[in-house]
Amino acid sequence: MAINKELYERYKAMKAAKLAAMEEKENPDSSKSVVENSTTLSGSSSESSGFRALSSGGVQETSHSENSGWTNTYYQQKTEEYHGNVGNAPTVNNVSESDVGGELPYSAINYGTILPKKEEPVENNIEQKIIESPIKKFALIGYPLGHSLSGYIHLAGFESLGIDATYEILETPPQELVDRIKYLKTNGYSGFNVTIPLKLPVSMFLDEVDEGANTVDAVNTVVINPKTKELKGYNTDISGFSAAIPKDVNLSGKVAGVLGTGGAARAAIVALARSQMKEIKLFTRNVLNCKELLEYLRKNFKNTEFNAYQIDRIRDLSDINILINATPIGMQGYAAGMTPVEERELQTLPEGAIVYDVIYNPKKTLLIQLAQKNNYRTVTGLDMLIWQAVEAQKIWTGRVPDFKDMKIAALENL
Ligand code: NAP
């Protein structure tokens, strides 16, 4: 049936108005915050291998003064458990035959199927297309997955494309990863997303990894070849991070501060380095542990300077144009209500600086609230989450889903 273009335009306008109203409610002073954007930062890069394949090199550290008086930062008030790479979660290296035998107690949530609706143009640069079948099956694996919005976001995206699909939330502790992969390959899935703590371990089961995933040593999107059942991994956090930055921001020649050095941080660093930043400062709990990472970055992004600093010694951010929180500090269920940088230090950022928190739950972390209070522009992790899902659907389907529909679904379910 032909699509009525006028009705379709009205439908789009209605969605845009609905999203604008939701965002206005979220953030009445919208001039201080950043909402949707479709920019993808560009720039040359010569990265070729993962962060692990590194050699020795120098590490720099600042000589901040030790004056303290911190009150609401994470470092004095850790209360909740985090399941990222800082915990003691087992890795697949520890898996034994007996650990993985038998049926898994899958706690899958099936969000249902979507009826076909409308057609979108096909992208040219997609490497792999899924062979048509009545219902496409997708999933998210990771552990724990209690707070995940991915099902709502992806189903809204598939619906915007008129693709009949399911998206299941499959909690997968690391010791069950091997069986989970087997399950996905043999049960008709077209692809899946991967989240903590499996973004690195999953690479052991992949037949191929794209350049971005290889560069950041983390895979968050996998395509299952319908014929051969071979797996190819991608990292859509890199482009998702970039796409959430407002169009009018030019980072070339500027200085970034990135808090944390985990998967999200590395995706952010690569995205920032590709946009030709003058310097990227890494703030970490252990500068010495960053040696290989710095060495890799210096080797592969020669136009950008990289230095590492102790995160707990942040005092002066006056030379930083964009500050990124890529730690879980402030995240619901881990250190909610805490900030990785206290207000006093945040206030040292120059006028016009951007504060970008990759955390998406809560929508406004304490860091984002403090930044808005002090008139800095902000970017939230929710936009990054949606853009990385848009990118995943482009890889899976060769088509571009509707960002607004996906964001509305996220806001309705957050
Ligand atoms: P990760 O790989 O576990 O890395 C987290 C990093 O944060 C660690 O490497 C560590 O860096 C730092 N960190 C952890 N605990 C800390 C603490 N107590 N104090 C100071 N630094 C600490 O996790 P991730 O996958 O990067 O995720 C990090 C956050 O980003 C999570 O909240 C996640 O939900 C969010 N995320 C959002 C998106 C999105 O689309 N919006 C995508 C991915 C992740 P050092 O070891 O260098 O200290």
The string of pLDDT tens digits covering residues 214-232 is: 989 999 999 999 999 999 9
- Residue 350, preceding peptide bond in cis (omega within 30° of 0): no
Q: Which residue puts its alpha carbon closest to atom 13 of ligand 1?
A: 327
Q: Is the CB of 193 under 6 A from ligand 1?
A: no
7: pLDDT strictly greater than 70? no
- Which residue in 136, 137, 199, 281 is the catalytic one? 199
What is the average pLDDT across 363-384? Answer: 97
Q: Which residue puts its alpha carbon closest to atom 1 of ligand 1?
A: 262
Burial class (CB in 10 A: 0-12, 13-18, 19+), 211: middle
Burial class (CB in 10 A: 0-12, 13-18, 19+), 169: buried
3-state secondary structure of 61: coil
Q: Among 120-124, 217-221, 318-322, 408-412, whose mean pLDDT is lowest?
A: 120-124
Give 61-82 pLDDT, tens digit per residue.
333 333 333 334 555 444 344 4
Q: Which residue puts its alpha carbon closest to atom 14 of ligand 1?
A: 327
What spacing in Å lies between the alpha carbon of 398 and ligand 1's midpoint?
Answer: 30
Q: Is the CB of 216 under 6 A from ligand 1?
A: no
Q: Is the CB of 264 under 6 A from ligand 1?
A: yes
Say how far residue 24 (Cα) sits from the centre of its chain.
24
Tell me what pLDDT residue 55 has: 25
Q: Among 31-35, 335-339, 376-380, whose mean pLDDT is lowest?
A: 31-35
Give dist(CA 344, CA 322) in Å, integer: 17
Q: Among 47-56, 225-234, 244-253, 269-278, whose mean pLDDT is lowest?
A: 47-56
What spacing in Å lies between the alpha carbon of 286 and ligand 1's midpoint?
Answer: 14
Tell me what pLDDT residue 29 has: 56
Measured from the Cα of 311, ligand 1's closest atom is 20
Tell me what pLDDT residue 17 has: 82
Tell me what pLDDT residue 28 has: 64
Q: Which long-range contacts (CB under 8 A, 24 or more apart) does 134-137 make?
A: 134/164, 135/164, 135/165, 135/166, 136/163, 136/164, 136/165, 136/166, 136/190, 136/396, 136/397, 137/165, 137/166, 137/168, 137/187, 137/188, 137/189, 137/190
Of 37 and 315, the structure prediction assigns the larger pLDDT to 315
Q: Which residue puts its alpha carbon closest to atom 34 of ligand 1?
A: 359
Of 161 and 93, the structure prediction assigns the larger pLDDT to 161
Whether residue 407 lies in the annotated active site: no
Q: Among 4-13, 134-143, 152-161, 321-330, whose mean pLDDT is lowest?
A: 4-13
Tell me what pLDDT residue 126 has: 43
Q: Which residue puts its alpha carbon closest to atom 31 of ligand 1?
A: 328
What spacing in Å lies between the alpha carbon of 226 and ligand 1's midpoint?
Answer: 33
Model pTM?
0.77
Give dist(CA 231, CA 165) in Å, integer: 19
DSSP 228: T
**Residues of the chain above pLDDT 70, percent:** 71
What spacing in Å lies between the alpha carbon of 360 and ligand 1's midpoint?
Answer: 12
What spacing in Å lies between the alpha carbon of 331 and ligand 1's midpoint?
Answer: 10
Task: Give the residue from 302, 312, 407, 404 showing the smallest Cα distance to 47.
Answer: 302
Q: Is the CB of 297 under 6 A from ligand 1?
A: no
Tell me what pLDDT residue 246 has: 95
What is the average pLDDT across 295-309? Answer: 96
What spacing in Å lies between the alpha carbon of 263 and ligand 1's midpoint?
Answer: 7
Cα separations in angstroms, 270 against 206, 236, 348: 22, 12, 25
What is the average pLDDT across 4-30? Answer: 70
Tell me what pLDDT residue 1 has: 38
What's the Rg (C-alpha) of the chain?
21
Tell me what pLDDT residue 70 has: 34
Neighbours of 136 (CB within 10 A): 22
Amino acid at residue number 44: S
Amino acid at residue number 92: V
Burial class (CB in 10 A: 0-12, 13-18, 19+), 339: buried
Q: Which residue puts its alpha carbon closest to atom 42 of ligand 1?
A: 264
344: pLDDT strictly greater than 80? yes
- How far does the chain reach from its first CA to its final CA, in angstroms? 35
